[in-house]
Homo-oligomer: A and B are copies of this chain.
Amino acid sequence: MTTILNQHQDYQQAEEAYGFPLIIKQLLNRAKIASKDQTISYADKVTYTYAEFFKRVNRLANVLKNMGLQAGDVVAVMDWDSHRYLEAYFAVPMSGMILQTVNVRLAEDKVLYTINHSKPKALLLNAEFEPMAKNYRHEAPSIEKIIWLDDTQYDEDTEYGEDTIKTQQASMPDYAEGEYEAMLDTVSDEFDFPDFDENTIATTFYTSGTTGDPKGVFFTHRQIVLQTLSSTLASALSAEGQGARYNDVYMPMTPLFHVHAWCWPYGATMIGLKQVYPGRYVSEVLVDLIEQHKVTLSHGVPTILQMLIKEMATRGRKFNGLKLSVGGSKLNEALAEAALESGIEFISGFGMSESCPVLARVAFGDQTSTMTTTEQINYRCLSGSPIMLVSMEIWDENGKALPMDGESTGELVVRAPWLTQSYFKNPDAGDELWRGGWMHTQDIACITADGTLKITDRLKDVIKSGGEWVSSLEVENILSFHPCVAEVAVIGVADEKWGERPLALVVLKPEYVDIKAEDILALGHQAVEKGYLPKYGVPSEIRFLVEMPKTSVGKLDKKKMRIMYEEKLI
């Protein structure tokens, strides 16, 4: 592995100089020296040291090698967040293989689609998902080897949420190669991970996009290393009490199958932090673990934040300044207020499956010291500014860059060292993604003069009323302040006169049932009066739902809402 110095003779590198490829194994260098005795836990089931973790990564690599797997082979994982998953995060790509993180929350047919599409040769299968794998085996499977992941061995020791965690588990089927722990036990704890080209593919997974089949994205070793460095830095630079620190205790609350859990497992291991993996996300278990392990650093979508606040409220206690990065969808200000009250220091960011994921983050300085609570909440809910190395532009429909004045609104396009370079076996969609040499986020946004990114809509969710754009996110935010509203979504529906009009879908809090639409819409009219919203932004109508249609990762599924509206189901 050599670096080519592209200048003349005088700058040639020494014969034995080490060129240092940016590959995932290098993320372990610091922890190997500095954190040998630090611990990693799997819920209440397993706790071991980094020294043991390194050995188990070596063992897993030996298991994969002994099964005949080779560099370039895809190894899929279907598991909740466990120490095993973390081991696979390293051992699989460090062996030159490609880690596929299967989204087990998708509908079964979509899960099967992603597996059929990526063609893994091996699968690490949590017993809980055995029914899916069984069905899969009836199709034309690429999978030759299945490693069985079984939590029943820990059941005796389980302290938390036994009823919810214990599931009906199949016993290991004949077609499995063996049980994970048993297989690790039989091989050497030494493995010499080779150097290779940093542009080797390390991971692949599927976007849970609401349109059409899931699309596969893929990332190289170099991309993951650079995203990890830059997004960790973007957090750490935050003001006192807000950023990542050497003495944090980390626990993911974005699943490891979801865009590398925002690369935090790579970052936490790189720094050598104490880590906790919570298994399946059950509110009581998450809060138990946060309290028991004194977790200080995590991340999650707004839905998780809501779960945490609710669970802690039932305990009559508060979080102790838990630092939580929030992304995935827009945080509304009512939830944000509740988070601060519950003792959670949240910060919003912006990213997507195609971008590894982090692109922007609130750069939390000391501004809050002079802010009112409302101002502070508003500030923390923004999408922040680009993190280190990220370029952003706002383009109009003709690909012309618009000024960053907080008013000019268009599609956000980006450049960064960690963007998927296409879609897997879908070059047309890849070419569309990279139209004009910038990656198209399909998000409609503006950027203020001081560099703050404001996402106003998804391109496909845009509402155009009387020729003017309505920001559905802005309208949702305003209506969310009504004390009776649990959840709100605004979609565009066809209108003869205006082309489209915003329609608000609302789920009420259980204790309110008799509220009238006008009462909620009154908030919209007030916003118009105060100049926060154009008149045409107030929805013409509200329809009440019992449950809000959502995607597998908890985002509002507006595509489904539009279909339901057209089919007169709402």
Q: Which residues of A contact B (CB under 8 A)?
A: 3-8, 10-20, 22, 26-27, 29-30, 32-37, 72, 98, 197, 199-201, 218, 220, 222, 225-226, 229-230, 232-233, 236-241, 243-247, 270-271, 363-367, 385-392, 404, 415-417, 419, 421-422, 424-425, 427, 430-431, 433-439, 447, 449-451
Complex Cα–Cα for A30 and B29 (A): 28
Complex Cα–Cα for A200 and B8 (A): 10
A386 & B34 in contact (Cβ 8 Å cutoff): yes
CB distance from A290 to the nearest CB of B (A): 18
CB distance from A423 to the nearest CB of B (A): 8
B239 & A233 in contact (Cβ 8 Å cutoff): no
Whether A270 touches B3, Cβ cut-off 8 Å, given contacts A421-B14, A437-B16, is: no
Contacts of A451 in B (CB 8 A): 33-36
Q: Which residue of chain B has the shortest Cβ distance to A222 in the bound complex?
A: B3
Whether A386 touches B240, Cβ cut-off 8 Å, given contacts A246-B365, A363-B246, A434-B17, is: no
Q: Which of B220, B245, B246, B387 contacts A30 (CB 8 A)?
A: B387
Contacts of A29 in B (CB 8 A): 386, 388-391, 415
A36 & B389 in contact (Cβ 8 Å cutoff): no
Q: Which of B8, B15, B98, B391 contacts A72 (CB 8 A)?
A: B8
Q: Which of B6, B225, B244, B364 contacts A200 (CB 8 A)?
A: B6
Q: Which of B22, B27, B197, B427 contacts A6 (CB 8 A)?
A: B197
Q: Which of B236, B365, B437, B450 contacts A18 (CB 8 A)?
A: B437
A201 & B7 in contact (Cβ 8 Å cutoff): yes
B12 & A438 in contact (Cβ 8 Å cutoff): no
Contacts of A26 in B (CB 8 A): 389, 391, 417
Complex Cα–Cα for A550 and B431 (A): 61
Whether A388 touches B33, Cβ cut-off 8 Å, given contacts A18-B415, A421-B13, A430-B14, is: no
A4 & B415 in contact (Cβ 8 Å cutoff): no
Whether A385 touches B34, Cβ cut-off 8 Å, given contacts A4-B199, A14-B433, A18-B439, is: yes
Whether A36 touches B199, Cβ cut-off 8 Å, given contacts A30-B389, A245-B365, is: no
- Name, among A19, A236, A392, the residue most crowded by chain B CB atoms within 10 Å (CB to CB): A236
Known: A13-B421, A14-B422, A18-B434. 7 other contacts (CB 8 A): A5-B199, A6-B197, A16-B437, A17-B430, A229-B229, A238-B245, A243-B245
Complex Cα–Cα for A324 and B510 (A): 55
* 27 A-B residue pairings within 8 Å (CB atoms): A3-B220, A4-B199, A5-B201, A7-B200, A7-B201, A10-B424, A11-B421, A14-B422, A14-B430, A17-B437, A18-B438, A20-B389, A20-B415, A26-B391, A30-B385, A34-B385, A34-B386, A36-B449, A229-B230, A229-B233, A229-B388, A236-B243, A237-B244, A237-B245, A237-B246, A240-B241, A271-B388
